[in-house]
Structure formats: structure tokens, C-alpha cells
Amino acid sequence: MAGSKGTAKRGSDTVERREPAIRLKDVQYRRQGRIILDHVDFEIGRGEKWVLFGPNGVGKSTLISMMSTRGFPSSGTVEILGNRLGKVNVFSYRWRIGLASAELAKTINPQEDPYDVVLTAFSDTTGRWREEFTQGQEDAAMQLMDRFGIAYLRGKRMYRLSEGERGRVLICRALMANPDLLILDEPTTGLDLGGRELVLKALSRIGQEDKDRTVVLVTHRLEEIPEGFDKVAMMGRRPMSDSVRAQTPGDPDPGTITFQGPVEEGLTGGRLSDLFGLNLKVIHDEGRWGAFATATV
């Protein structure tokens, strides 16, 4: 892939490069008086491949908005690529973060050519106007789209694409500028079996071969965890204190990180059963994960 803008290079021996890629300390996030996230402590080292896993509605997307510098905590500290949110202009380093998410998709003009959506990652825009790109950048965009099985989309319009096709366009865009940090929020949503396996195969290559890039994959499905992603952060709910509960009696408990570490230690039947409130059996076979509910004993 073509090189990213700027002067930072992955693996360079500087103080910043020795800092974790992501560090959150005692993070809380409130929205309209409701506590969405509470007491979140989380650290991701450079080059690590993480899965952010948990049920729907527990705050994964809110956490991702902070990791991608699109959101800020109500309290606590968030450091991304050695830069603390609120202390450093996010636009000075946001180009080093590749993001594929449903929220980003909403900012893209439905009339845009999918090829231009991928290519304009180099200019930090979501639409092409008068930008000039090199032949190498244009070739890299087509090669990446071909890798994810969507080269045939060039010349079409985003509004005519299926949900799965749009998702793959966003993954290609996130990878296009060769980011130091890659964040993929539910990247296989809307894909059929064939499309899902094609994307997971490509992501497995990233997990196994791209040693320097830090990657965070968000999902709530075990079967969508690619090989090469060897660490997991599991999100669950943190019980409110009695005093807070008295103030907001109808609110659900806020989300938090309940486990972070090796994927084999996190994705156990016991942990998942507690997380989802079901008696679950976990399967790990030939590098792929799965789970199903068993009869209550």
C-alpha cells in the first residue's frame, strides 16, 4: 500500500513510538445526564491486534469514538498515539488513524463513486472535488479494492451498493492511507456468508502479517473474529452505586471493560455466560471461534 502522509513512520525509535497506541484511564462518559461508560481503564500496545467484544448497547461505539478522536470523555484521560485528547489538535494526527464505521458512512455523499471514497483517504476528505493523486496512489486504491473483492464497484454510486459492499468500501478507505492505528467497527455487518469470509480472510492477513500496525476490531459475534487477533477486551456492565441509582432509577448500568488480555483467557464459556446471561458453550476450532446455548443444568 502507498505510504501515509506526514513524517511519522511505524517502528521508528522515538519516545512517542514507545508509548502505547491507546491508553484510557478512569474514563467516564455521560450523555444527557446518563452515565454511558464508567471506570474504563484500557491499554493497547503498538502493533497489537485486539478484539473489542461485547453485547449490543454496552457502549462499544462510544468507546470507539474516543479511540478514533471523534469523541471526548466526560472525565478521565484518553491518549491516542501518544497524544492526549483535549491537549493536542486532533487534526494534527487523525490522518494516522484509519476508521471504518457506520457513523463515518453517514458522512459520505450517496452519489460518490466507491473508488473515489477509497482514494480520497489520502486527502482526508469523504468526497472528490479537484484533488490530484499520483498514479501510484490510484493503482494502490484499485489493488486494495481487488483484495477485498470490490474492484467491480468502480464507476458505480454509493447509494446503489448493498450494505455489505459499502462496508468493504469503508474498510479499503480505512487501510488506504497506511494508518498507524486501524479501527474497524462491526466490519462484516450486512455481508452474506461469502462476503463475510472474504473480508475475514483479508483481515486475518492483516492480523498475522502486518506486525507494526495496531488494529482494533469491534464485534459482538465470535464467528467474526479473524485469525491473528490474539487479544480481547470484553465489555459488560458496571453496577451503579446506590446513590447514583437513586438519582437515575430507570437507567441501565453503564458499560465498562470487564476483561482485557489473551483471547483464549477471555473467550471462555464462563465469562460469556455471565456476559450474556445464558449458559454458553464456546468452540475454538482451526483458528475460528463460535458459541451456542446449552440446556441449563
pLDDT tens per residue, range 197-219:
888 888 898 888 888 999 999 99
The backbone torsions φ and ψ at residue 285, rounded to the nearest 5 degrees and listed phi first, read -140, 125
Shared domain check, 116 and 151? yes
For residue 10, what pLDDT band results from cuts at 50, 70 and 90? very low
Q: Are residues 254 and 282 in the same domain?
A: no
> Do residues 220 and 290 both lie within one domain?
no
What is the spatial distance between Cα 114 and Cα 170, in angstroms, rounded to a whole number?
9
Assess whether 287 and 166 both reside in one domain: no
pLDDT of 34 reads 87
- In angstroms, the Cα distances linking 22 to 50, 162, 283, 284 are 11, 33, 30, 28
Number of folded domains in the chain? 2
135 and 259 co-located in one domain = yes
Same domain, 281 and 154: no
Residues 117 and 27 in one domain: yes
Residue owning grid cell 451456542: 292
Q: Is the confidence at residue 289, as pLDDT, over 90?
A: yes
Task: Tell me how long the chain is.
Answer: 297
Which region among 31-45, 51-65, 101-115, 230-244 has the lowest average model confidence (pLDDT)? 230-244
| Residue 10 domain-assigned (yes or no) | no
- Measure the CA–CA gap between 150 and 130, rounded to whole angstroms: 24
Residue 153 has pLDDT above 70, yes or no: yes
Same-domain status, 54 and 199? yes
Looking at residue 192, its pLDDT comes to 86
Non-local (6+) Cβ contacts of 139 within 8 A are: none
Domain extent, residue 77, equals 15-263
User: What element of type H or E holds 8?
Assistant: none
What percent of the chain lies above the pLDDT cut of 90?
60
Residue 97 placed within a domain: yes
Q: Output the nine-digit C-alpha cell for 152.
A: 467491480
Residue 235 has pLDDT above 90, yes or no: yes
Task: Say whether both 285 and 216 belong to one domain.
Answer: no
Residue 4 lies in a domain: no
160 and 284 fall within a common domain: no
**Domain co-membership, 102 together with 148:** yes
The CATH number for 144's domain is: 3.40.50.300
Do 67 and 150 have their domain in common?
yes
pLDDT tier at 9 (50, 70, 90 boundaries)?
Answer: very low
